[in-house]
Amino acid sequence: MTPIATPDISATISAAFAAAQPLKSKASVIPDDVNYSVIHSKVVSGIRKTIDVRLNKKVSESTLRAIALELKSGDSRPYDRTFIVYYLPEMPVGAGGWATTHFDPGLDVRILGLTPEEASAGVDSLLPSTREDIGRWSDDRNGTQIVMYRDRGRPYLEQFFNDGSVLKEELVESLTPLGRRFESKVGSSLGDHWVIDAGGQLQIRDNVGLVYTANTIN
């Protein structure tokens, strides 16, 4: 007589419990040194949700993905699309984010500014040794790297964009109470200009006032 196999009840219960737990991959973990806060959220017609998020620092794509999934899972209401824009400290909201994670409807992660790796790389390889370096800065709103230098006594500015293009223009320098002021030699109808303040940071300004402060690249 063949013995009848009896199921392992404990194994069955363990398997059922494991299946009921949410799946968690390594990519879904938010590092302990990363903090974020929701600045603003808005629901449009119950089908689309937009969220503005403030990060405490630059993070990787996998961390952005983890934050996006956490934000989306925190709202039980269904939306066809969820658009999330991320801002670094001191970045003005509405002037373009550093990164986005959009559910449209699938999750699309994009870093619009410089990644942590790109920021640390700098632009040393792009600077000819014959120039006299005035300074280098990073505009984290769009990932632009700004270089000022002198060539034969004349000041110039070069902006290195993410798409590989470079904008070069000759500058006119003057001294102001705010610091050393530089503006394009051809002028600007909006009064666009740059000021290097006492701390070495680059203030991007126009006729209205301060637009953004770019951080120094050491």
pLDDT, tens digit, for every residue of 107-142? 989 887 666 666 655 555 555 556 789 999 998 888
The answer, yes or no, to whether residue 70 has pLDDT greater than 70, is yes
The C-alpha atoms of residue 32 and residue 59 are separated, in whole angstroms, by 12
What is the arithmetic mean of pLDDT over 138-147?
87
With bands split at pLDDT 50, 70 and 90, how would you rate the model's confidence at 176? very high
Domain boundaries defined on the chain = 27-112, 117-216
Q: 100 with 85: CB under 8 angstroms?
A: yes
Q: 84 with 102: CB under 8 angstroms?
A: yes
Q: Which residue has the higher pLDDT, 120 or 83?
A: 83
What global pTM score does this model have?
Answer: 0.48
With bands split at pLDDT 50, 70 and 90, how would you rate the model's confidence at 3? low
117-216 folds as Lipocalin (2.40.128)
Alpha carbon 83 to its chain centroid, in Å, reads: 15
